[in-house]
């Protein structure tokens, strides 16, 4: 098999011809991803942009190792991805904090799994929470925090494992616009400081423009990478600068085709039934 000999490159993530078919071999089979080819460099910030249901989250789960691909290969840091790893931390859209644990216990959950004693864990949690500005909330419970704070704790929990890759599945989608902008700045700080690569899924064009080194635009059903748009602008980026406007126009046009196609397809499917 192709992956018997180790793949060697400097890249953080390499996807070669990755495809995913859900419920393969049954009459409910449907193709989520087709022929994904992608390289992510260490320390790079890549945004997956596409309409809902285009399979961009699926690709993130495949890279996390939570699902397995039905074709192709995924490599992360010169190792074939076969199972989840603390090197690749996943952050979800909805609250994924453990409601019965305090903030510091949530942050150090991964260390608890490794059997690190409580005293040491608390210290690590304190340091990590300092990086997200939430040391004051250490002994609070998740339900005492706001949505934005909770996502910062989730980021801290991922950082506590010192991941080389942060996988984020629409992490700010449930937040209001103002909080979202603040969280984007916060994320950029954390990213620069940690040196990790980030793969960030969103359907928000402005979010992609604010964050990405490169934007991978997805087609819908099956998901393919339509094009990759590099953004070579210094951060923080002014959303109203002419360069941003041009990007917004470009990405909007790319997205509109896909949304139109997805709508037409859904209508055709309804008509066929």
Partner 1 sequence: MAILAPTDTAPDRKFAVVGGANAPPKTAPRISRTALAYRMKETLGRIGWTLASITLFASIWEFCWLVGWADPKLLPPPHVFIGNFADQLKFFNTATRWAVGVNAADGPTPLQALGITIASTTMRVMVGLFVASVLAVTVGVLIRYYVIVDKLVLPTVTLLSPVSPVAWLPIAIFLFGIGNAPAIFMVVIALFFHMVLATISQIDGVNRNLLNVARTMGATKWQTYRKVIVPAILPGLLIVLRMNLFAAWMVVLIAETTGVGYGMGQVIMLARNTFNPSLVFFCIALIGLLGFLFDLALRMIQKRILYWVPETTGVLRGL
Site for partner 1, rule CB under 8 A: 64-66, 84-86, 88-90, 92, 94-96, 98-102, 105, 109-110, 112-114, 141, 143-144, 157, 161
Whichever of 65 and 223 has its CB closer to partner 1, that residue is 65
The CB-of-145 to partner 1 minimum distance in angstroms stands at: 9
The CB-of-84 to partner 1 minimum distance in angstroms stands at: 4
Whichever of 112 and 250 has its CB closer to partner 1, that residue is 112
Long-range contacts of 120-129 (CB under 8 A, 24+ apart): 124/160, 125/156, 125/160, 128/156, 128/157, 128/159, 128/160, 129/103, 129/104, 129/153, 129/156
The CB-of-248 to partner 1 minimum distance in angstroms stands at: 31
**From CA 51, how far away is CA 48, in angstroms rounded?**
10
Whichever of 40 and 255 has its CB closer to partner 1, that residue is 40
Give the helix/strand (H/E) hosting 61. Answer: helix 56-64
- 3-class SS at 266? helix
Distances in whole angstroms, Cα of residue 68 to Cα of each of 20, 21, 46, 211 = 8, 10, 21, 28
The CB-of-109 to partner 1 minimum distance in angstroms stands at: 6
Q: What is the CA radius of gyration of the chain?
A: 19
Whichever of 72 and 110 has its CB closer to partner 1, that residue is 110
């Amino acid at each position: 098999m192709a992956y018997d000999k180790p793949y060697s490159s400097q890249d953080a993530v390499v996807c070669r011809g990755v495809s995913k078919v859900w419920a393969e071999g049954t009459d409910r089979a449907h193709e989520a991803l087709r022929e994904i080819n992608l390289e992510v460099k260490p320390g790079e910030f890549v945004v997956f942009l596409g309409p809902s249901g285009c399979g961009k989250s699926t690709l993130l789960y495949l890279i996390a190792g939570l699902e397995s691909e039905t074709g192709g290969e995924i490599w992360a840091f010169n190792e074939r991805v076969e199972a989840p790893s603390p090197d690749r931390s996943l952050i979800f859209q909805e609250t994924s904090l453990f409601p019965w644990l305090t903030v510091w216990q949530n942050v150090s959950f991964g260390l608890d799994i490794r059997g690190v004693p409580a005293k040491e864990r608390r210290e690590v949690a304190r340091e990590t929470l300092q990086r997200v500005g939430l040391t004051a909330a250490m002994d609070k419970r998740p339900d005492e925090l706001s949505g934005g704070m909770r996502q910062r704790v989730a980021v801290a929990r991922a950082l506590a494992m010192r991941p080389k890759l942060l996988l984020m599945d629409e992490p700010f989608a449930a937040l209001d616009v103002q909080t979202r902008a603040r969280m984007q700045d916060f994320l950029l700080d954390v990213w620069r400081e940690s040196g990790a690569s980030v793969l960030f899924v969103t359907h928000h064009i402005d979010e992609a423009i604010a964050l990405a080194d490169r934007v991978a635009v997805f087609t819908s059903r099956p998901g393919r990478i339509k094009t990759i748009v590099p953004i070579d602008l210094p951060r923080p980026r002014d959303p109203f600068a002419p360069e941003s406007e041009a990007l917004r126009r470009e990405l909007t046009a790319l997205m509109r085709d896909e949304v139109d196609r997805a709508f037409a397809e859904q209508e055709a499917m309804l008509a066929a039934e």
